[in-house]
Amino acid sequence: MTRLRVLIFSASFGAGHVRAAEALIEALKNREPEADIDHVDFGVFLSRTFNTMLKSTYIEMIKHTPKLWGKFYYRTAKIPPHSVFQRFLNGLGRRKLMNYIHGLQPDLVICTYPTVGGALGVLRQQGELKAPVVTAITDYAIHSQWINPGVDMYIVGCEDVRIGLLRRGIDEEKIKVTGIPVSPRFERVLDRENIAARLGIDPQCLTLLIMSGAYGVLDSAKWLLKLLDDIPGDLQVLIVCGKDERLYHSLDGVIEQARHPVRRFGFIYNVEEFMAVSDIIITKAGGLTVSEALTRRLPILIYKPIPGQEEENALFLQNIGAGKTALNDEELGAALKQMITDPDTLAQMREAAAWALPGKAADQAIGHMLALLKKKGKEQRTG
C-alpha cells in the first residue's frame, strides 16, 4: 500500500497560519503515522525581493498605520474570484508552484494561508491539479482571499463563517465546521500546580497572562503594569514578550517596583502551559491565539484589535461572551478591573468559552479530509 502524501501550504505573515498548519500535521500524524507530509511556506514561490517587500509592508502597516490596513482589508473583502486583482494574486508564483506540485505528486493539498488557496483552486478548476485542495480558514470572518469555487473543502471556525461561505455561493457539502485547528496539546488536561511550580508562581493566586503578539504589536505592557498597581487583591502577572527584545528590556525597572509579582519571558514554545495556569489573557486578536485561549477555556481581553481580521475576531469573541475588547487604555483599565474584581464575570466568560468551539478541531478537520480523499478515490474508481 502506497503512503499517503500530503502537501501543506502556510505563510510566515504572522505566526497563526504556520501554527494552524503544524496543528493539522500533528493531528494527521496521530491518524496516519506513515504519511509523508511536506510543509511549505508559500513565500518561497515568490521572488525573494517581492516576498520581502510584501512581508515588510504588511508588518509596517499593522504596526504603524493599522487603519490603512483595515481600509485595504475591507475594500478587498468581497471582490469576486474573476476580478483583475484576484486574478493577479492567483497568478503569483504560479509556474514555480506547479513545477513543485508536479514533482511531489501529493494525494492531498492543504492551505492555511488565503492567497495560495485561491491559486490552487484555479488550478483545480482548469484540471491542472489532480489532488483535492482543502482550505482551513484561520479567522472568524470571511474574506474573498479565502474563497475560490475550485477548492474541494473548507475547514471553518464557527457557524458565522459557514453562513458567509454559503452566501458567497460555496456548496454546503464543501464546508465543515470544526473550529480553527489548534495543536492537540491545548486539549490535554494539565496540572496547574506542577506548571506553576516550574514557572515560579503561586497556583492559588489569580494570574494575568499578557502576550505581546506577533512583531511586538502590543506595546503597552509597561503602562499596564503601573495600572495594575491600583487594583486591590492578590494578583500575579506573566508577560510573554516573544522576540521583542525592546519590550523585554523596557520592563526592567517597572517589574522591580510593581505591587504585584511579575514574571517575564521571551519567546516560548509551551503556550498551552502558560494558558493553563492563567485566569485572564490580554492579547491581540489573531485567529489562532483566540482559538487556543478558547480551547483552554481562558477569558480573553483584546487590546486595540487591528482593523480587519482582528477586528472581526474580536467581534466574534464579544458576541459569544468569551471576551472583551478595549480600544484604548481607559477601556482596558475598566475591563480589567471588572474581570479581576468580579468573579461572576470571569465564570460567565469561562462558561461561554467552553461552549464556543466543537472541540478537537485539528483531529476533526483531518477526519473530514481523509473522508474527502476516500470519496474522491471511490469516484475515480467508479468513474
Calculate the alpha carbon distances from 30 to 34, 99, 375 in Å.
Answer: 10, 30, 21
Three-state SS sequence of 33-64: CCCEEEEEEHHHHCCHHHHHHHHHHHHHHHHH
Q: Are 256 and 249 in contact (CB under 8 A)?
A: no
Name the residue ranges covered by the structural domains of the chain: 5-179+359-382, 190-356
pLDDT of residue 281: 96
Q: What is the mean pLDDT of residues 356-365?
A: 91
Q: What is the mean pLDDT of residues 95-108?
A: 90
Calculate the alpha carbon distances from 129 to 121, 357, 370, 376 in Å.
Answer: 9, 33, 18, 14
Calculate the alpha carbon distances from 161 to 21, 154, 209, 273 in Å.
Answer: 19, 10, 29, 29
C-alpha cell at 333: 483599565
Q: What is the mean pLDDT of residues 71-81?
A: 86
Per-residue pLDDT of 113-147, as tens digits, reads 988 888 888 889 888 899 999 999 999 999 998 99
Q: Is a pLDDT exceeding 80 seen at residue 90?
A: no
Q: Is a pLDDT exceeding 90 seen at residue 28?
A: yes
Q: Which residues contact 216 (CB under 8 A, 6 or more apart)?
A: 63, 241, 242, 243, 244, 246, 247
**If pLDDT is split at 50, 70 and 90, which confidence band does 380 have?**
low
pLDDT of residue 11: 86
Q: What is the mean pLDDT of residues 356-364?
A: 91
Residue in the block written with cell 482559538: 291
Q: Are 350 and 299 in contact (CB under 8 A)?
A: yes
pLDDT of residue 72: 85
**If pLDDT is split at 50, 70 and 90, which confidence band does 39 have?**
very high
Q: Is a pLDDT exceeding 60 seen at residue 216?
A: no
Q: Which residue has the higher pLDDT, 190 or 382?
A: 190
Residue in the block written with cell 469561562: 350
Q: Which residue has the higher pLDDT, 373 or 84?
A: 373
CATH architecture of the domain covering 5-179+359-382: 3-Layer(aba) Sandwich (3.40)
C-alpha cell at 191: 496540572
pLDDT of residue 220: 59
Superfamily of domain 190-356: Glycogen Phosphorylase B; (3.40.50.2000)
Rounded (10°) CA dihedral 227, 220, 283, 307: 120
DSSP-based three-state secondary structure for 124: helix
46/85 Cα distance (integer angstroms): 17
What percent of the chain shows pLDDT beyond 70?
95
**If pLDDT is split at 50, 70 and 90, which confidence band does 357 have?**
confident
Q: What is the mean pLDDT of residues 291-320?
A: 94
Q: Are 283 and 275 in contact (CB under 8 A)?
A: no
Q: Which residue has the higher pLDDT, 269 or 227?
A: 269
The answer to whether 5-179+359-382 and 190-356 have equal CATH topology is: yes
Q: What is the mean pLDDT of residues 157-166?
A: 95
What percent of the chain shows pLDDT beyond 90?
55
Q: Is a pLDDT exceeding 50 seen at residue 217?
A: no
Per-residue pLDDT of 11-20, as tens digits, reads 877 788 999 9
DSSP-based three-state secondary structure for 156: strand
Q: Are 303 and 66 in contact (CB under 8 A)?
A: no
In whole numbers, what is the pLDDT of the chain averaged over residues? 88
Count of helices and strands (H, E) across the chain: 17, 12
pLDDT of residue 367: 97
Q: Is a pLDDT exceeding 90 seen at residue 25?
A: yes
Residue in the block written with cell 471588572: 338
User: How distant is the alpha carbon of residue 344 from its chain centre?
Assistant: 28
Q: Which residues contact 176 (CB under 8 A, 6 or more apart)?
A: 153, 154, 155, 156, 364, 365, 368
**If pLDDT is split at 50, 70 and 90, which confidence band does 190 have?**
very high
Q: Is a pLDDT exceeding 60 seen at residue 214?
A: no
**If pLDDT is split at 50, 70 and 90, which confidence band does 382 have?**
low
pLDDT of residue 378: 63
Per-residue pLDDT of 239-293, as tens digits, reads 998 888 888 888 888 888 888 899 999 889 899 999 999 999 999 899 999 999 9
